C-alpha cells in the first residue's frame, strides 16, 4: 500500500466506480442546471442521460471550478490522516483549478510542514486526463514513490493525445466557441470539426471534416499518425462521449481493428456534466499515448 494519496478532479471523466477501483481519490467540480447548483458527481444526483436530455430540450447550464476552501478541506483531511498527496489537476488551459489547488497546497504546507503535497497541471481533459490518472495508478501500484511518480507525470504528460469531434455544434455556438455564421455554414455542409488539446492544455480546432463517417476515419488517422509505436501500439486507449454512444463505439471498433496489440479493449466513458455543459450532446473524444505535444 502506498503512503500517499493520488487524486484528481471529477473532470477526468471516469466513473466513480472506476476511480475507486484504482484507488484514485477525487474532488468534484460544480455545475448549474437551470440555475440550480449541483456537484459534478458522476451522474449520481442527475443521471447523464437526464442531463443531456435537459440540455437538448433547452435547459441552461454553467460550470464552476473547485475553490480554494474545498481544496483546503480535502488536503487537510488527508494530512491529518498522515498521508502525503499527489494531486494531478484539470488542465490550466481550461480552468483556474490548478492555481486554486496550488494556493491551497501552499497554505496546508505551512500548517503541516511534515507532509508533502505535490500539485501537477495535467494539461489534459476528460478521459485523456483519466488515461493519465490510470497510468499514474499503474506506476504507483508497481512501486513508484510520490517523487518518482510526480517526475514521471511531468516528463510524460504531453505524450497524451486528445482528438475530439462533434456532430452537433449547437452548444459550441451557444458558448461562443463557434460563431453563429460558421455554425450555420457547418450545418449546411455537414461539417464536423476535429479538435485537439495543445501543449498548453487548450482545446483548439484543427480541421473541418465533412460528414460524420469521414470525421471518424480522420480521428483514426490521427492515432495512426501519432500513436506510440505506430500499429504496434501497446498501451490503453480511452474514448469519451456525450450522449452519442454509437458514434463512440464506431470509433472504438476502428481503433481495435487497426491496433491489435493495444492493452485490452478500448474503454468507453461518458463526458461528465462539466465538460458536457460546454460541448452538449454529440461529441466523441479519442485518447492515446504518442509523440509529445511539446514538439508541435
Per-residue model confidence as pLDDT tens digits over 223-235? 999 999 999 999 9
Q: Minimal CA–CA distance to 129: which of 98, 157, 87?
A: 157
Q: How far apart are CA 260 and CA 100, in angstroms?
A: 42
Question: 48-76, pLDDT tens digit by residue?
Answer: 999 999 999 999 999 999 999 999 999 99
Residue 188 in this model has a pLDDT that exceeds 50 = no
Element containing residue 201 per DSSP (H, E): none
Identify whether the C-beta of residue 134 lies closer than 8 Å to the C-beta of residue 236: yes
Q: How far apart are CA 7 and CA 27, in angstroms?
A: 8
pLDDT for residue 170:
66
238-241 vs 203-210, strand pairing mode: unpaired
pLDDT band at 177 (very low <50, low <70, confident <90, very high): low
CB neighbour burial string for 203-229, b if at least 16 within 10 angstroms, e if fewer: beeeeebeebeebbebbbebbeebbee
Q: How far apart are CA 152 and CA 180, in angstroms?
A: 43
Residue 174 in this model has a pLDDT that exceeds 70 = no
* Residue whose entry in the numeric block shows the C-alpha cell 481519490: 25
The predicted model gives 164-179 an average pLDDT of 66
Its pTM stands at 0.94
What phi and psi, each to the nearest 5 degrees, are found at residue 246?
Answer: -60, -40
The predicted model gives 31-51 an average pLDDT of 95
What phi and psi, each to the nearest 5 degrees, are found at residue 240?
Answer: -125, 155
Amino acid at each position: 500500500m502506498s503512503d500517499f494519496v493520488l487524486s484528481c478532479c471529477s473532470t477526468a471523466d471516469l466513473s466513480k466506480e472506476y476511480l475507486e477501483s484504482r484507488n484514485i481519490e477525487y474532488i468534484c467540480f460544480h455545475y448549474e442546471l437551470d440555475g440550480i447548483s449541483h456537484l459534478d458527481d458522476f451522474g449520481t444526483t442527475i443521471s447523464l442521460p437526464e442531463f443531456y436530455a435537459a440540455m437538448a430540450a433547452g435547459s441552461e447550464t454553467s460550470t464552476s471550478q473547485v475553490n480554494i476552501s474545498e481544496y483546503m478541506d480535502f488536503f487537510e483531511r488527508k494530512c491529518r490522516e498522515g498521508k502525503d498527496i499527489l494531486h494531478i489537476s484539470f488542465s490550466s488551459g481550461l480552468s483556474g483549478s490548478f492555481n486554486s489547488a496550488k494556493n491551497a497546497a501552499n497554505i496546508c504546507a505551512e500548517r503541516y510542514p511534515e507532509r508533502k503535497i505535490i500539485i501537477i497541471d495535467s494539461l489534459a481533459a476528460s478521459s485523456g486526463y483519466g488515461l493519465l490518472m490510470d497510468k499514474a495508478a499503474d506506476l504507483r501500484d508497481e512501486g513508484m514513490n510520490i517523487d518518482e511518480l510526480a517526475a514521471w507525470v511531468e516528463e510524460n504528460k504531453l505524450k497524451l493525445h486528445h482528438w475530439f469531434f462533434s456532430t452537433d455544434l449547437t452548444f459550441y455556438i451557444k458558448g461562443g466557441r463557434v460563431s453563429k455564421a460558421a455554425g450555420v455554414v457547418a450545418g449546411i455542409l455537414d461539417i464536423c470539426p476535429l479538435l485537439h488539446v495543445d501543449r498548453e492544455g487548450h482545446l483548439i480546432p484543427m480541421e473541418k471534416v465533412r460528414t460524420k463517417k469521414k470525421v471518424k476515419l480522420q480521428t483514426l488517422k490521427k492515432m495512426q499518425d501519432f500513436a506510440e509505436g505506430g500499429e504496434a501500439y501497446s498501451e490503453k486507449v480511452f474514448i469519451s462521449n456525450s450522449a452519442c454512444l454509437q458514434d463512440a463505439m464506431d470509433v472504438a471498433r476502428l481503433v481495435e481493428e487497426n491496433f491489435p496489440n493495444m492493452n485490452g479493449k478500448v474503454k468507453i466513458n461518458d463526458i461528465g456534466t462539466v465538460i458536457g455543459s460546454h460541448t452538449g450532446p454529440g461529441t466523441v473524444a479519442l485518447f492515446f499515448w504518442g509523440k509529445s505535444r511539446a514538439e508541435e
